[in-house]
Amino acid sequence: MIIEQANAGVLTNFDVFDFLRARGATSDPMGCLGAVAPSECKVFEYLHQSPACTQTRESIDEFLERCEKFKLSPAEKLNIINLRPSNQPEIYALVKECGKRLVKGDIDEVPELLELVNEVLPQPPPKPEAAAEQHESMRSNLLDISG
């Protein structure tokens, strides 16, 4: 990989995921042989289990456009896109001085920001262990019904 322009801008996890996918990375270790470096496959595998794998360029652009009213810093926007917070405590952890900046008198903008995240940024994939638990729960429900 050749760096054409250092510090040209920030990259979201989606940008890295999309770049690695375009280079031929997969979450299958055997599928990565020769196409990309093993370290790139590890990064791809990690990002494949993160919110980045369900995001699109359009959803990120829409989020960036619609969140301007909150006056978030570029780093805060990047963290929200990468981590896709799903509740208010996570927003408070990502936005510096959130209680001062997004809560003005009786107007609390945190729920509105959280609603924007939920509306525009797609749900992340289920966690592997959560998927296994869900599968086991469905299996036991089927056994209860049949037996």
| Homologous superfamily assigned to 56-120 | RNA Polymerase II, Rpb4 subunit (1.20.1250.40)
pTM to 2 decimals? 0.78
Q: Where are the domains of the chain?
A: 10-54, 56-120
Q: Is 147 helix (H, G, I), strand (E, B) or coil?
A: coil
Provide mean pLDDT across the span 29-43.
Answer: 77
CB 33 within 8 A of CB 41: no
Tokens of 57: 């360029």
Within 10 angstroms of residue 19's Cβ, the number of other Cβ atoms is 15
For the chain, the residue count is: 147
What are 104's strand-pairing partners? 107
CB 27 within 8 A of CB 68: no
> What pLDDT digit, counting tens, does each position of 58-100 carry?
999 999 999 999 999 999 999 999 999 999 999 999 999 999 9
pLDDT of residue 19: 92
Please check the confidence at residue 142 and state whether its pLDDT lies above 60. no
The rounded distance, in Å, linking the Cα atoms of 29 and 35 is 11
Within 10 angstroms of residue 26's Cβ, the number of other Cβ atoms is 17
Tokens of 28: 């299958």
pLDDT of residue 144: 54
